[in-house]
Amino acid sequence: MIDLLTIFVLAVFVGFEVVSKVSTILHTPLMSGANAIHGVILVGAILITGSAGSTLELVLGLLAVFLATVNVVGGFVVTDRMLEMFRK
């Protein structure tokens, strides 16, 4: 249990550091290209949530599913907005 929580906290810190170091110009193309990775993260979060053994694991799993879903949808919205700039 502590192992999973430690991995979760480390992933939050690493993710924040990686995203905060990306320049604004590159953020939109990288976000649209990373939607496949976000989809894999969403599937992983669903699988982990399905095998939750305690209430804390279930709550953290549902939070991961929610945040991954927001990330995937946000990526598609940004990609769509970016592609709208190139239409006449």
Q: In which domain, by residue range, is 60 found?
A: 2-84
- Which of the four pLDDT bands, split at 50, 70 and 90, describes residue 79? confident
31: pLDDT strictly greater than 80:
no
- Mean pLDDT score of the chain: 83
Count of domains for the chain: 1
- Which of the four pLDDT bands, split at 50, 70 and 90, describes residue 88? confident
C-alpha dihedral, 35 to 13 to 18 to 46, nearest 10°: -10
Q: pTM of this prediction?
A: 0.60
Compute the average pLDDT of residues 36-51: 87
40: pLDDT strictly greater than 90:
no
Query: Residue 87: left if φ>0, alpha if ψ -120 to 50, beta else—which one?
Result: beta
pLDDT single digits (tens) 1-25: 888 899 989 999 998 888 777 776 6
With a CB cutoff of 8 Å and minimum separation 6, the contacts of 17 are none
